[in-house]
Amino acid sequence: MSSSPDIAGILDNTKELDRLRKEQEEVLVEINKMHKKLQATPEIVEKPGDTSLSKLKNLYIQAKELSESEVTVSNILLTQLDSLLPSGPTGQQRRKLVAEGNDQKRKRMKVDSDVTRVSPSMRNQIEAYASLRGEQVAARVTADDAEKDEWFVVKVIHFDRETKEVEVLDEEPGDDEEGGGQRTYKLSMSCILPFPKRNDPSNTQEFLPGKHVLAVYPGTTALYKATVISTPRKILKPACCTFGYRGSLTSKYLLEFDDDEEDGALPQRTVPFHKVVALPEGHRQ
């Protein structure tokens, strides 16, 4: 006999599905607005400080994440409904609880494999996160309902393909009273931001002056909101053992961090390009 929590869980997931679809519709409206804007004035992207393409990219990322969440919730609903329906011909006895639980687990595994097969974008995203093992990333370690977001540089130690959770290690010893040692976290994929590849600056997204970003504050492993003052560029440096100068590429951004006031002004600080990422939507600081 079905239990009321089963029905309650199904109703909760249908509400979540409705919410995701409404959000998708809102994002699609914004995407269409951006398309019309770019079609009407394509030259706008060439203006210094314009963020149209960056906004469009973020909208597509948001749409993709909402779509993948819809697939996940839909499959959970299918599994819940399957567990309430007879599993065989009329008159066949229902399996024992343990056997039924194992059967549902196999169904979930099959659903996951089906999603992987029909959703290349999700498969690519999962593979990308699985490949981060051993690498440093930016991670939000605070809860979704926290007053402020806290982002730190952490090391990926494991990615669970089934739960889509990333296990990370904060390698910096804590300064609190609870031991002060290294800490591990299990975070959702949305709490992880991969850093640009240090050895591949040519394929890294460039943030133009005036753009808000999330960057590692010099001398720490914490990330804060900052404004781009200048991008990595070619500069002149004294040539070694010669009279003159030669050009070389600096791989650092010049940034102004929020709330970093000194003597009534915001100092400008240099940060390597591979320690700067896009500012997450709705960031709280």
Pick from 222, 219, 213, 184: nearest CA to 273:
213
Separation CA 57–CA 119 (nearest Å): 19
**Which residues are CB-contacts of 115 (< 8 A; sequence separation ≥ 6)?**
71, 72, 75, 122
pLDDT score recorded for residue 210: 96
CA 62-66-70 angle, to 5 degrees, is: 170
Q: Are 265 and 198 in contact (CB under 8 A)?
A: no
- The residue extents of the domains of the chain are 8-81, 132-174+181-194, 211-278
Separation CA 172–CA 256 (nearest Å): 25
Separation CA 73–CA 19 (nearest Å): 11
Pairing mode, if any, of strands 165-170 and 234-238? unpaired
DSSP annotation of 261 reads: -
Of the candidate CATH numbers 1.10.1450.10, 2.30.30.140, 1.10.599.10, 2.60.40.10, the domain formed by 211-278 belongs to: 2.30.30.140
Quickly list H helices, the chain. 4-40, 52-84, 97-118, 120-130
Separation CA 216–CA 195 (nearest Å): 11
Q: Residue 173 burial by CB count (10 A; 0-12/13-18/19+): exposed, middle or buried?
A: exposed
Strand segments (E) across 133-182: 136-140, 151-160, 165-170
pLDDT score recorded for residue 200: 74
Confidence band, pLDDT 50/70/90 cuts, at residue 175: low
Asked: is 132-174+181-194 a CATH 3.60.9.10 domain? The reply is: no
Q: What is the pLDDT of residues 81-105, one digit of tens each?
A: 877 776 544 444 444 444 555 556 5
Q: What is the pTM of this model?
A: 0.53
- State the distance between the two ends of the chain, measured CA to CA, in whole angstroms: 49
State whether the Cα torsion 91-93-99-105 is positive or negative: positive
Q: Do domains 132-174+181-194 and 211-278 have the same CATH topology?
A: yes
pLDDT score recorded for residue 95: 44
- Residue 149 tokens read as 């977001």
Q: What is the pLDDT of residues 210-248, one digit of tens each?
A: 999 999 999 999 999 999 999 986 444 555 544 454 444
Pick the range with the lowest mean pLDDT from 71-80, 132-141, 147-156.
Answer: 71-80
Q: What is the pLDDT of residues 251-262, one digit of tens each?
A: 899 999 998 988
Pick from 200, 64, 214, 202: nearest CA to 138:
214
